[in-house]
Amino acid sequence: MTAASCAGCIHWDRYENALSTEVGDCRLNPPTVNETLLARFATPPSYRGPDPQSLEIEVDLYAASIFPVTHENSRCGRHEGAIA
């Protein structure tokens, strides 16, 4: 690990209880919707009644939203070290 790698960045969130603790989420930017996950989780809306099922759509979008997964030795060029 070098000082400018993901492991030394304040925006990186290491996976603690995973098979490998060398990976984590980069939280520099908000999560994005992954189209593959959205297709897997999303339920087609029902047009039978006045309810637009907004809660179900919100849950589907939440489940399909992810932060970029990075290795602890990765670098992005936007590294911010820990606050001393």
- What pLDDT sits at residue 50? 52
**pLDDT tens digits, residue range 16-71?**
887 778 999 999 999 998 888 777 777 665 555 555 556 666 777 777 788 999 99
Question: What predicted TM-score, i.e. pTM, was given to this entire model?
Answer: 0.66
From the centroid of its chain, how far is CA 51?
29
**Mean pLDDT of the region 8-18:** 88
Provide the residue ranges of all domains of the chain, joining segments of one domain with +: 6-71
Rounded distance between C-alpha atoms, residue 33 and residue 41, angstroms: 11
- What pLDDT sits at residue 48? 56
- What pLDDT sits at residue 38? 78
- What pLDDT sits at residue 20? 79
Give all strands (DSSP E) within 27-74, no chain letters: 32-33, 65-66, 69-71
Rounded distance between C-alpha atoms, residue 52 and residue 39, angstroms: 19
- What pLDDT sits at residue 83? 67
From the centroid of its chain, how far is CA 39?
17
